[in-house]
Chains A and B, each alone.
Chain A
Amino acid sequence: MTKITQNTVPYSNISYGTEPTKMVRFMRRCFIIQVFNFFKLNLKVMRIVVGGHS
């Protein structure tokens, strides 16, 4: 999303975090992939919620 100076300072906390590539950023907003993810994640959540109590 943004670059801040400390991102590249060796041994700083923030320098160890991973960052998404352009492809990952594209996929995060790709309509078709996200529609698929929307249904897949909703199903997963529903299954977890319903299965979590009796």
Chain B
Amino acid sequence: MAKVVVLGAGISGHTAVSYLSKALKKNHEVVMVSPNSNFQWLPSNIWVGVGLMTIDQVKFKLAPVYKKLGVDYKQAKAVSIHPEGNNENAKGFVKIEYVTEEEKGKEEIVTYDYLINATGPKLNFDATEGLGPHKFTQSVCTYDHAAHAWGKLQESLAKMENGERQTFVVGTGHALATCQGAAFEYILNIAFEIKKRNLMHLADLWWISNEYELGDFGMGGAYIKRNGYITPTKIFTESILKEYGIRWIKRAGVQKVEDGKIHYENLRGEYHTRDFDFAMLIPGFAGAGMKAFNKQNEDITSAVFVANGMMKVDADYTPKPYEEWSAKDWPSIYQSIKYDNIYAAGIAFAPPHGMSKPMQSPNGTKIFPTPPRTGMPSGVIGKIVAQNIIHAVKTGTMEHKHKASMAHMGAACIVSAGYGLFKGQAAVMTVNPIVPDWEKYPKWGRNINDTVGVVGTAGHWMKLFMHYMFLYKAKAKPFWWLIPE
């Protein structure tokens, strides 16, 4: 009997554990270790942040779902991994610490035959002074952050209704932050809600980003087919911001936030400030901060993880200049570089390099987006990692028949730009592959026939449709496995 342990119940980990339990639960053991008691459908947090959905609409309890799936669910956080075991355990194991009220602080050793690290990002608010919902800015990275942001947004809307002018700043809160798409959605939704209340004359809306050009989105931008032209996403994004009355600051690395004031440095090395009444800034991401130890209990963290805590996998991590980056550098099976029975799925794997060209100010500050790995890629990676483990468990051979390199995988980004069945809008952007492959597609970097940039109500319907469809799938309701990632 094999034992597969999954760390993290985000999109990637939850997808992996669902497929593992479907295939293995009868004869094998599947364990989920996650400090969260709820699954959250992250893309809909945007709507929680503007009061159009409640937190109960974007989350559900994990325990009943795992009970139904036959998964042994431990509400705990992983502290360290011991891939070689120790004197008492011949097998590799994970040391976990429970987080529930009843068992808070209790430690346990969970052995495994296969381990999937899908711990997702640590929201690194501390990397920017004054950043975060407990300090001076808001976040939509979790449902409770989004609900808090909505509370603050209501305060600003109330002030505007009393005739007070308000400045809104939304974007990236760290010079190397990613997830521009989520922040972009949020500012469009704020603009839509302000417009709906006829208060635009009292609003100053600012988009602040570490992108060299808007529309970079951490993937080096893209070219899309639009209205008979092949257009860079820079034009597409700037046009949408202009249409919604939003001004922008680009090439900006936020360094510090004070009450009502954002301090940032730009790529010219100049230091500026931007006043605000309401700000939502995405923090930098880091790994979960797990340690790794060998059989002699020596710290081998640096051999298993990169410096920011993401796990090293089957990628080419050789440092090389931007001009030599290749699509082949990207991993396809997400197997640990050091241990064959450990995998990293979703945000937990360390990318070999960025997709956006690294930029540095004359003061030496690196200001550029790091690569995004959320949503669709995370789900697909979780699925293929699970499929490869299922195959290994059933056949006893590790063949890795399933592959999903981000350099071969496409993605769709649906940027909500207003809610409502007939008045709602969203920008739908598709790219294929996610990582530009200039050898295969020398002209545009990607398959231009698969790229689209469309704004319209259809996009809003798609986002709504995906909200209900993926929550259905995540709840493991009948025939959930027929729904693609």
Cross-chain contact A48 with B248 (CB below 8 angstroms):
no
The answer for the CA separation of A6 and B380 in the assembled complex, in Å, is 43
Chain A contacts with B in 27-52, Cβ cutoff 8 A: 27-29, 31, 33-38, 41-42, 44-46, 48-52
B376 partner residues in chain A, CB cutoff 8 A? 49
Q: Give chain A nearest CB distance to B31 CB in angstroms.
A: 25
Docked CA distance A13–B200 (Å): 20
Q: Does B456 contact A (CB under 8 A)?
A: yes
Which residue of chain B is the closest to A35 with respect to CB atoms? Answer: B458
Q: Are B458 and A53 in contact (CB under 8 A)?
A: no
B479 at the A interface (CB under 8 A):
no
A16 to B238, CA, bound (A): 8
Measured between C-beta atoms, what is the minimum distance from A48 to chain B in Å?
Answer: 3
> CA of A16 to CA of B454 in the docked complex: distance in angstroms?
20
* Contact between A48 and B403, CB atoms less than 8 A apart: no
Interface pair B243/A6, CB less than 8 Å apart: no
Cα separation A42 to B483 with both chains bound (whole Å): 13
Q: Is there contact, CB below 8 Å, between A28 and B409?
A: no
Q: Is B241 an interface residue (CB 8 A)?
A: yes
- Best-surrounded residue of B244, B248, B401, B484 (most CB of chain A within 10 A): B484
Q: Is B242 an interface residue (CB 8 A)?
A: yes
A28 vs B455: C-alpha distance when bound (angstroms): 7
Q: Are B404 and A41 in contact (CB under 8 A)?
A: no
A20 to B248, CA, bound (A): 19
**Best-buried of A18, A36, A42 by chain B (most CB within 10 Å):** A18
* Per-position binary interface string of chain A over residues 1-23, scored 1 when its CB falls under 8 Å from any chain B CB and 0 otherwise: 11110110000011011111000
Residue of B nearest to A16 (CB): B238
Closest residue on chain A to residue B402 by CB atoms: A54
Contact of B462 among A18, A31, A41, A53 (CB under 8 A): A41
Given contacts A2-B245, A45-B430, are A53 and B457 in contact (CB under 8 A)?
Answer: no
Q: Looking across the interface, which residue of chain A has its beta carbon closest to that of B406? A: A52
Inter-subunit contact A44/B430 (CB<8 Å): yes
With an 8 A cutoff between CB atoms, is B423 at the interface?
Answer: yes
B245 and A48: CB pair below 8 A? no
Q: Is B43 an interface residue (CB 8 A)?
A: no
Asked if residues B384 and A17 are in contact (CB atoms below 8 Å), the reply is no
Residue among B241, B410, B456, B485 making CB contact with A34, cutoff 8 Å: B456
What secondary structure prevails in chain A residues at the interface with B? helix
Given A41-B454, A44-B430, verify A13-B402 contact (CB < 8 Å): no
Are A41 and B247 in touch, CB under 8 angstroms?
no
Residues of B near A13 (CB, < 8 A) are 238, 247-248
Range class of the A interface residue count? 35 or more
- A13 CA to B37 CA, complexed, in Å: 45
Q: Which B residues lie within 8 Å of A41 (CB)?
A: 428, 430, 452, 454, 458-459, 462
Q: Which of A38, A46, A48, A54 is the one whose CB lies under 8 Å from B458?
A: A38
Q: Which residues of A contact B192 (CB under 8 A)?
A: 1
Per the bound structure, the CA–CA distance linking A11 and B432 in Å amounts to 34
The interface residues of chain B lying within 8 Å CB-to-CB of A2 are 191, 195, 200, 244-245
| B77 on interface, CB distance cutoff 8 Å | no
> Given the complex, which residues of B lie within 8 Å of A35, measured CB to CB?
458
- Nearest CB of chain B from residue A35's CB, rounded to whole Å: 7
Q: From B383, which residue of chain A is reached at the shortest CB distance?
A: A53
Specify which chain B residues have a CB less than 8 angstroms from the CB of A14 in the assembled complex. Answer: 238, 241-242, 247-248
Give, as a whole number of angstroms, the nearest-CB distance from A5 to chain B.
10
Chain B residues with CB below 8 A from A7, complex form: 242
Once the chains bind, are B458 and A37 in contact (CB under 8 Å)? yes
Checking A20, A28, A38, A44 against B461 with a beta-carbon cut-off of 8 angstroms, the contacting residue is A38
Confirm or deny: B27 has a beta carbon within 8 angstroms of a beta carbon on chain A. Answer: no
Residue contact A54 to B462, C-beta cutoff 8 Å: no
Among candidates B200, B245, B383, B410, residue contacting A51 with C-beta atoms closer than 8 Å: B410
Q: List residues 192-242 of chain B with CB under 8 A from any CB of chain A.
A: 192, 195, 200, 235, 238-239, 241-242
A residues sitting closer than 8 Å to B (CB atoms) are: 1-4, 6-7, 13-14, 16-20, 27-29, 31, 33-38, 41-42, 44-46, 48-54
Sample (26) of A-B pairs whose CB atoms are under 8 Å apart:
A2-B200, A4-B245, A6-B247, A7-B242, A13-B247, A14-B242, A16-B238, A17-B239, A18-B235, A19-B239, A19-B242, A27-B456, A28-B455, A35-B458, A36-B458, A37-B456, A48-B410, A48-B411, A48-B432, A48-B450, A49-B380, A49-B410, A52-B404, A52-B432, A53-B380, A53-B404
Q: A2-B245, A18-B235 are in contact. List 14 more A-B contacts (CB 8 A).
A: A6-B247, A19-B242, A28-B456, A33-B456, A34-B457, A34-B458, A34-B461, A36-B458, A37-B459, A41-B428, A41-B452, A49-B410, A49-B412, A50-B484
